[in-house]
């Protein structure tokens, strides 16, 4: 279970403000995942790397470790041109983001 109060405190934010940021993160990340799916379909390693980097940064800043780790793996593999191993990345990210959304 995500401890939003703790994560908010870690950033020096009120819980309500952190929850607003989390809702925005969820909305933005779901759009990013759609872009990630398209980039993987197109075999566009550079786009996959960039999108994964964006997700990684936002997740890391907010303390969402599971999403951060998945995005880090995506960025690393895309930078090495290993797109086949990332076929399940969008679904894994969606699962984590959906879990986060349900916790709100």
Closest to 57 measured CA to CA, from 72, 45, 44, 74: 72
pLDDT score at 64: 98
Cβ atoms of 25 and 79 closer than 8 Å: no
Express each pLDDT in 59-76 by its tens digit.
999 999 999 999 999 999
Express each pLDDT in 1-57 by its tens digit.
799 999 999 999 999 999 999 999 999 999 999 999 999 999 999 999 999 999 999
Could you give the CA distance from residue 57 to residue 65 in angstroms, rounded to a whole number?
11
Domains and their CATH numbers in the chain: 14-103 (1.20.120.160)
The pTM for the full model equals 0.96
Unique residue bearing structure tokens 């872009």: 35
pLDDT score at 1: 76
């Amino acid at each position: 279970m995500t401890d939003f109060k703790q994560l908010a405190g870690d950033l020096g934010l009120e819980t309500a403000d952190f929850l607003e940021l989390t809702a925005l993160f969820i909305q933005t990340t779901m759009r990013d995942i759609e872009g990630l799916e398209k980039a993987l379909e197109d075999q566009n390693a550079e786009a996959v790397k960039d999108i994964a980097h964006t997700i990684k940064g936002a997740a890391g800043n907010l303390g969402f470790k599971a999403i951060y780790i998945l995005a880090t793996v995506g960025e690393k593999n895309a930078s090495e041109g290993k797109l086949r191993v990332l076929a399940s990345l969008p679904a894994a990210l969606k699962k984590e983001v959906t879990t986060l959304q349900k916790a709100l």
